[in-house]
Structure 1
């Protein structure tokens, strides 16, 4: 359980770090999650429509539009025509948003990479497998509900 509790503590600290970024830049927490999703898509070479982004964030159409309008006004995203299908409008994160994120999150990312250098390939593979498994469990909702959790073990 110690590792599970450490993972929970790390998740809390990462959430607080993200909240500080949002606060310093006049953003909502959902704005930050949207930018992360768009940066991940950019890194993977994928195009993201507003509908796809909204679904990933659990937003309805109106909420997604409000989010994108806010981010577009702030210069964080732009709406452009799709590469493969020019009829499709996709959302891209701007270079300014990437630079803003790198300036704030870069030191944490660099420290994380530095920590990982202390592990061999087999250990990194185990860490990757564990984190991916936890991510999938959370995404699929396979964890127990709060009502199923014993007192004192959130």
Structure 2
């Protein structure tokens, strides 16, 4: 890759990252959470069901000790609750409580509308390339940066 192209893409990624972090910091503040807590809640909300603290640690890249603090704060704020695993009563799972999460949907609707607007500029073949890029970026970033 030519150095100029790498420089451009690095700038784009840094700008996109900064905008994303600031967006989530604003949403988290409205929810009475830290940005880390809000993102861990997001991970739990996107899961197929209740998660263990260990699984949240794996997904987030945080230590299990840090995740315990996150879960404590999310539980105090009413966003999650700890429940016993019905298959193994020794395990504790973290379950999202729907509650107040819905009232924070407006910022995410704006973000989704923005995504729809941008994706509308691309045809099907271009969207396949973009999707392949994003999948590879996520997989590689998780493996090299988060899971280290």
Q: Please, what is the CA RMSD of the aligned residues?
A: 2.2
Question: Cα distance 1:104–1:86, how it changes in 2: closer, same or farther (>3 A)?
Answer: farther
Question: Cα distance 1:3–1:63, how it changes in 2: closer, same or farther (>3 A)?
Answer: closer
Question: Cα distance 1:123–1:14, how it changes in 2: closer, same or farther (>3 A)?
Answer: same
Q: Does 1:126 align with 2:132?
A: no
Question: Cα distance 1:81–1:122, how it changes in 2: closer, same or farther (>3 A)?
Answer: farther
Tell me the TM-score normalised to structure 1 length.
0.76
71, 75, 80: which one pairs with 2:74? 71
User: Any residues of structure 2 matched to 1:74-85 within 5 Å, and which?
Assistant: 74-82=77-85, 85=87
**What residue ranges of structure 2 are gaps of 5+ in the alignment?**
none
Alpha-carbon shift at residue 12 of structure 1 (Å): 1.1
SS at match of 1:141: helix
Count of aligned positions:
138
41, 53, 60: which one pairs with 1:57? 60
User: Any residues of structure 2 matched to 1:5-154 within 5 Å, and which?
Assistant: 5-41=11-47, 45-82=48-85, 85-87=87-89, 88-141=91-144
Between 1 and 2, higher relative CO (CA 8 Å, sep ≥ 6) is seen in 2
Question: Cα distance 1:57–1:103, how it changes in 2: closer, same or farther (>3 A)?
Answer: same
Stretch of structure 1 that moved more, 48-57 or 113-122: 113-122
| CA contact 2:44–2:95 (8 Å) conserved in 1 | yes
Alpha-carbon shift at residue 137 of structure 1 (Å): 2.0
SS at match of 2:33: coil
Alpha-carbon shift at residue 33 of structure 1 (Å): 1.6
1:90-131 deviation line (CA, Å, top 9, x unaligned): 212221354144232221112212322332222111111111
